[in-house]
Amino acid sequence: MRTRRFLAQLGVELTLTARRGESLVLTILIPVVLLAFLAEVHLLPTGPGKPVSFLAPGILALAVMSTAFTNLAIATGFERGYGFLKRLGATPLGRPALLAAKLAAVLAIEVVQVLVLVAVALGLGWSPVGGEAPAALGVVLLATAGFGGLGLLFAGTLRPEVNLAAANGVWLVLLLVSGMLAPLRRFPGWLAGIARVLPSAALADGLHRTLSLGRSVPTWAWVVLAVWALAAPLAAAATFRWE
Amino acid sequence: MDDLSFEARPGEVFAILGPNGAGKTSTVETLEGYRVPTGGRVRVLGLDPRADHAALVARIGVMLQGGGLYPSLTPRQALWLFAHLYPDPLDPAALLRRLGLKAVARTPVRRLSGGERQRLSLALALVGRPEVLFLDEPTAGVDPEGRLVVRSLVAEERDRGCCVVLTTHELAEAEHLADRVLILVDGKAAAEGSLEELRGTVAQAAIAFAAPPGLPRADLDQLAGACGVPGGTVREVEPGRYEVGAEPTPARLAAVAAWLAERDLPVADLAAARRASLEAVYYEVAGRGRPSADLEEPAGDQPLGTPGNGPARGRRRAASGGRRR
């Protein structure tokens, strides 16, 4: 029965995402276009080697952030604004199953994103290294928890319209101050310092090192991601208002 | 909410009636478990709406004011989801037919009319076969045809033994739907009882007649004397409408007729009102809840619930154990 409720909610989550044009733009179209465009038109200093070998992990990081943070925040914010979450609160669904369904939907979208983006990146000449893939998976899961917590923090406290603007604005800031599009060492020191405590930079750096260079994830990235993965969901749980 | 105590039983429609801001939604949302009471005891089906929330939600159906529908879901999708959340749901397709939503089953909620949305909300409340149904303003924004559908569904649910608790600020809806009514004013129960009981409380006072507006007090007191009631019991309730606040006996009716004849006035709208409309009850008790209205009331007016005329107040006492259900 519990599984049935969870699956029904997951079905609705995925249906709503698939039907929301802006979700598809945010989670699939923007990452694919950025990857293809920046890999072919050498606008940004991507460091030595092929641009795609820097950009592919960075755009994967962007895709994870778009889904777990911005898309989750906007969708949940509107569900809250329309009273849909409140209404679900009076059904046997329950909060754990609702959260589990949202998390499962985020992970499902991430799987699709990874498949699409890896295919595009391979087409653009990316040659990933497989040895550290489990570490990359760990980094993605931690980042998903952190971004998801942040998204729910926004969705559960801000008015839907404010939340919409904030989730997009913060997405842009996290994208720029992250090392997703250009290496952190090209940043001025103060900005790189800020970037190093953000989950976006830790995720991008972790994926770049593991997937393109076959190296391990630096300790600072693990620590930053773990702290966000713990703190953001806790903050969301403590402040979330259902209506 | 203050000092509010009531009980709704299986197989009855219990209406919470009151002006906007009276506390109707607060009351229902406390029963649904959305709000935490600062004091007192709330039980629904014997369960605490907060502590036993998980057990309770499987047995209740809820229709929120404002719907709680997601705009891009279709009625079919929404009902499919909700049907999967309950252990023994009704057939969604049959429910859509029953509520006249079959034609719009695949239309997103954002393109439905207000009445269609209300009916979908009702369908979502019904799909789990609830034992208690909470409907917050179920007919707000519903066209006359939709109202008939809602009314007949509410009656069907009651007849199968469901306890229906609904709020409304529309007297006509309460009169059509409810078996018992709680009138709420400023967070307090102004009256509670069956429609019959409530009508009885106000009907005690009524010989009504029409006469030119603004007749002098002395004339009215003279009529009061003729009827054997204290001065001030005869009053102009609204311009041109008068009322003798006493049991309408033949002798008193004759006294009224004689009094009219003395003044060469026609017999107009003379009525021995034994049954008041819910509207009369409502304005009687709702007015009492507002201090400003108290000042306008004539001194001789009998407060509702004084000894001898109080099924309304009497019922409140009977249910005053602080137990809701």
CB contact under 8 A, A91 and B82: yes
Return the minimum-mean-pLDDT range out of A69-78, A190-199, B242-251, B282-291. B282-291
Cβ–Cβ gap B33/A90 under 8 Å:
yes
Across the interface, whether the CB atoms of B81 and A87 are under 8 A apart is answered no
Q: Which amino acid is at B163?
A: C
Phi first, then psi, for residue A224 (nearest 5°) are -60, -45
Structure tokens belonging to residue B85: 């959340």
- B124/A90 Cβ within 8 A: no
- Secondary structure, 3-state, chain B: CCCCCCCCCCCCEEEEECCCCCCHHHHHHHHHCCCCCCCCCCCECCECCCCCHHHHHCCEEEEECCECCCCCCCHHHHHHHHHHHCCCCCCHHHHHHHCCCHHHCCCCHHHCCHHHHHHHHHHHHHCCCCCEEEEECCCCCCCHHHHHHHHHHHHHHHHCCCEEEEEECCHHHHHHHCCEEEEEECCEEEEEEEHHHHHHHHHCCCEEEECCCCCCHHHHHHHHHHHCCCCCCEEEEECCEEEECCCCCHHHHHHHHHHHHHCCCCCEEEEECCCCCHHHHHHHHHHHCCHHHHHHCCCCCCCCCCCCCCHHHHHHHHCCCCCCC
Residue B277 has a pLDDT of 65
Q: Is the pLDDT of residue A222 over 70?
A: yes
- How large is the average pLDDT for residues A59-64? 97
Contacts of B57 in chain A (CB under 8 A): 90-92
Quote the tokens at residue B302: 């009998």
Out of A157-161, A209-213, B264-268, B309-313, pick the least confident: B309-313
Contact A16 B73 (CB under 8 A): yes
Chain B interface residues facing chain A, Cβ-Cβ under 8 Å?
32-34, 54, 57-58, 60, 62, 64, 66-73, 77, 80-82, 84-87, 124, 128
Domain boundaries, chain A: 2-239
- Across residues B10-38, what is the average pLDDT? 92
**Chain B nearest-CA residue for A241:** B34
- Cβ <8 Å between A4 and B69: no
Chain B partners of A89 at a C-beta cutoff of 8 Å? 34
Minimum CA–CA partner of A84 in chain B? B68
Best B82, B126, B132 residue to mutate vs chain A (most A CBs within 10 Å)? B82
Model pLDDT, residue B131: 96
- Neighboring chain A residues of B70 at a CB cutoff of 8 Å: 16, 78-79, 82, 84
**Confidence class for position B249, pLDDT limits 50, 70, 90:** confident
**pLDDT tens figures, B283-305:** 777 665 433 333 333 333 333 33
pLDDT band at B125 (very low <50, low <70, confident <90, very high): very high
* Contact criterion met (CB < 8 Å) for A4 and B84: yes
Q: Inter-chain contact B57–A90, Cβ cutoff 8 Å?
A: yes
| Residue ranges of A 50-109 with Cβ closer than 8 A to chain B | 78-79, 82-84, 86-94
Angle at CA A149, nearest 5°, toward A143 and A150? 90
What does the pLDDT look like over B166-220, one tens digit per residue?
A: 998 888 888 888 999 999 888 888 888 888 788 776 655 578 888 999 899 999 9
Q: How many helices (H) and strands (E) does chain A have?
A: 12, 0
Please tell me if residue A215 touches chain B, with a CB cutoff of 8 Å. no
A88–chain B nearest CA distance, Å: 8
Residues B84, A7: C-beta atoms closer than 8 Å: yes
Backbone phi, then psi, for B184, in 5-degree steps? Answer: -110, 130
Which of A5, A12, A76, A91 has the most B C-beta neighbours within 10 Å, making it the best mutation to test the interface with B?
Answer: A91
Task: Kindly identify which residue of chain B lies nearest to residue A85, measuring between CA atoms.
Answer: B68
Nearest residue of B to residue A97, measured between CA atoms: B85
The fraction of chain B above a pLDDT of 90, given in percent, is 46
A16, A20, A87, best to mutate vs chain B, most B CBs in 10 Å: A87
Q: Do B86 and A89 touch (CB under 8 A)?
A: no
Chain A residues with beta carbon closer than 8 angstroms to that of B64:
83, 86-87, 90
Confidence class for position B3, pLDDT limits 50, 70, 90: confident
Q: Tell me what pLDDT residue A59 has.
A: 96
Q: The complex's ipTM? A: 0.89
Distance of CA B114 to the CA centre of its chain: 22
Q: Per residue in A115-140, pLDDT tens?
A: 999 999 999 999 999 889 999 999 99
Question: What pLDDT, on the 0 to 100 scale, is given for residue B297?
Answer: 33
Which of B64, B71, B84 lies nearest to residue A5, judging by beta carbons?
B84
How confident is the model over A181-203, as pLDDT tens digits? 888 888 999 999 999 999 999 99
| Set of chain B residues whose Cβ sits within 8 Å of the Cβ of A1 | 87
What is the model's pTM?
Answer: 0.79
